Amino acid sequence: MGAVDVIAIETTNLGDRSYVIGSQGAAVVIDPQRDIDRVLGVLDERGWTASHVLETHFHNDYVSGGLELARVLGAEYVVPDGMAIGFKARQIRDNDGIACGIGALRVLHTPGHTPNHVSYVVSDDVTDVAVFTGGSMLFGSVGRTDLLGPDLTEPLASAQWESMRRIAAEVSVTAQVYPTHGFGSFCSATATVGNASTVADQVASNPAFAMNQQAFVADLMAGLDVYPAYYAHMGPANQAGAGPVDLSLPQRASADDIARRIAAGEWVVDLRHRRLFSGEHVQGSLSFDVHGNAVTYLGWLIDWGTPITLLGADVEEVQAMQRELVRIGIDRPIAYATGQPTQWVSVNGVNGVNGALGSYRRATHADMAAALAVDPDLPMLDLRRNSEFENGYVQGAKHLPLHELRSRMGEVASWARANGEPVWVYCGSGFRASIGASLMESAGLTPVHVDDDFANAAKAGLPIAVPDHHARLGDAYLD
C-alpha cells in the first residue's frame, strides 16, 4: 500500500477535529462536522474517493454530518454498536475489520467517554501508522466521562483508564494519535497539551499513565467542571440522524421587525466586535462577538427553540455564525440584518414605543483598579467558570459563572441595587464579560464591560485572592 495522508479539519470554536485519511486515491472520513462542504472540498482537491464515513462515538458537543456525507458520497456509514439509531448504518464492534483502500483498518472498543466508544487503527503492511481516538486518548488528557449522567461517571472513568492502557498495549508505539476532541473542547476532562503525538509520547507524558486506576478515577471526577447546556440536545440528534443544512441567508429583517422580535422575547444577536457593541447597539439586543467563541455560549445560554435574528456588520459575519449554529443543531435563524445600529432602530416603534440605541462603558483592569481605589466597595462580578475562579479572583468581586447569569438575574439585580451601580463585569479575556454585560443591560442593569485579559488584573495592581465560599454570589451570600 502507499503512504497514508491524514488531513485534519479543525472546528476551532468547538475544539474538535475531523479527519480525512487518504492513500492512492482512496479515502475514509472520521467524525465529520455538520457542514460537510469542508470535507467535500478536501476530497475534491486531493482527487480522493471516500468509501467509508466513520464515527468514533455518538457526539455530545456537535451534530454529526456523517449520515448526510455518506449519502452524498455513496459511502458506507459506520457507527459503534450498542445505540438505538433512526437510520441505516453499519454498526461495528470490537476487533471488527473494515476493508478499504487506505490499508488495514481495525476497531478497538475504547469505552470511557461513552460506553460504546471505539477507536480506529490504520496499519500498513508492517505496522500501525495511526490511531483515531475520538474522545478516548487525548493529547495529555482524556475525554470526560460525565456526559451521560452521574450514575455512569465513575464506571466510565474506570473504563477510560483501561481503554488508555489497551491502546498503549495493542497499538504500535510509533503510531500517530489523532483525537477528535481536546483542542479547547468541553468534551476534554482537562486541558490538553500539544497538537501532535505518538502512542509512545502519550505513555510517557499523559497523566493517565502515571496513576493507578483508583487515583485516576478520583482525580478525573474531582476535576470535572460544567459543560454547555446544549449538549443535552446533541446525542438525540445524532441518534436520529441529521439531514442536510441550508446555509443560504434567511429573510432580511427591517428595523420594525427587529423591534417586534425583541418585544416578543426573541433573541436578536449582535455579531459585531464587542468593542463596537459597547459603543452603540440596539437596546435589547445581545452581544455574541462572532470573532470569538460565540456559538458555544449562545447554545449554552439560549432557551432551546427560541427564534434568533442575526445582526452583523456585513454578510460575512452573518454567514459565519450560520455555519457555527448548524454545527450544534440550530439550523436556521429567523432573519438577519447588516449594517450599523442606526439602521436597525425602529422609528415607528412597537406598541407605540420607539426603538432606542444603547451603550455602556468599556474598560480595562487598570480602569477597574482606579475605580476600586476611589470606592473600596466597588461592585464587581466575576463571570468565569468555577475552575478558573478557584485559581484566584479580584478580591471583593462576587462570582457567578456566565452560564448561570440568566437564571439568577433577579439575584444579581437585588445585589446591584443593594451595592450600587454600575457593576464592573470581567471574565478571562473580555469575551464572556461582553455577553454578560449585554444580558445585564437587557435586564435593566448598568454594567461596565471589563474587556481585558485576567492576567492583567494583578499587573494593574488589583488584589488577587484565593476564594472562599463568602466570595460566591448565591444563596446565603447576597448581602
Burial 403-425 (b: 16+ CB within 10 A, else e): bbbbeebebbbebbeeeeebbbb
The secondary structure of 172-231 as a DSSP string is -TTSEEEESB-SS-TTBSS----S--BHHHHHHH-GGGGS-HHHHHHHHHHH-----TTH
Lowest mean pLDDT among 62-76, 173-187, 411-425, 459-473: 459-473
At 327-339, the pLDDT tens digits run 999 999 999 999 9
Phi, psi of 254 (to 5 degrees): -85, 170
Q: How far apart are CA 162 and CA 170, in angstroms?
A: 12
Query: Which domains, and CATH codes, for the chain?
Result: 5-240 (3.60.15.10), 251-358 (3.40.250.10), 361-477 (3.40.250.10)
Contacts of 178 (CB under 8 A, 6+ apart): 6, 8, 17, 19, 30, 130, 131, 132, 133
Q: By percentage, how much of the chain surpasses pLDDT 90? A: 90
| HSE-CB of 124 using CA atoms within 13 angstroms | 15
pTM of the model: 0.93
| pLDDT reported for residue 191 | 85
Lowest mean pLDDT among 210-224, 338-352, 395-409, 426-440: 338-352
Q: How far is CA 359 from CA 155, 278, 284, 477, in A?
A: 50, 5, 11, 30
Contact in structure between 60 and 36 (CB atoms under 8 Å): no
Q: How far apart are CA 12 and CA 87, in angstroms?
A: 29
Q: What phi-psi label fits residue 416: left (phi over 0), alpha (psi between -120 and 50 degrees) or beta?
A: alpha
The pLDDT confidence band at residue 478, using thresholds 50, 70 and 90, is very low
Lowest mean pLDDT among 343-347, 366-370, 442-446, 451-455: 343-347
Q: Are strands 267-270 and 176-179 parallel, antiparallel or unpaired?
A: unpaired
At 423-447, the pLDDT tens digits run 999 999 999 999 999 999 999 999 9
The pLDDT confidence band at residue 348, using thresholds 50, 70 and 90, is confident
Q: How far apart are CA 64 and CA 242, in angstroms?
A: 7
Place of cell 436520529: 240
Average pLDDT over residues 233-247: 96
Contact in structure between 272 and 289 (CB atoms under 8 Å): yes
Instruction: Using CA atoms of 323, 112, 133, 96 in order, give the dihedral in degrees to the nearest 10.
Output: -110
Average pLDDT over residues 198-209: 96
Torsion sign across C-alpha atoms 162, 168, 171, 175: positive
The pLDDT confidence band at residue 470, using thresholds 50, 70 and 90, is low
Contacts of 35 (CB under 8 A, 6+ apart): 65, 245, 247, 323, 326, 327
Q: How far apart are CA 363 and CA 143, in angstroms?
A: 37
Average pLDDT over residues 226-253: 96
Contact in structure between 27 and 49 (CB atoms under 8 Å): yes
| HSE-CB of 295 using CA atoms within 13 angstroms | 26
| pLDDT reported for residue 125 | 78
Closest by alpha carbon to 42, among 5, 93, 15?
5
Contact in structure between 412 and 400 (CB atoms under 8 Å): yes
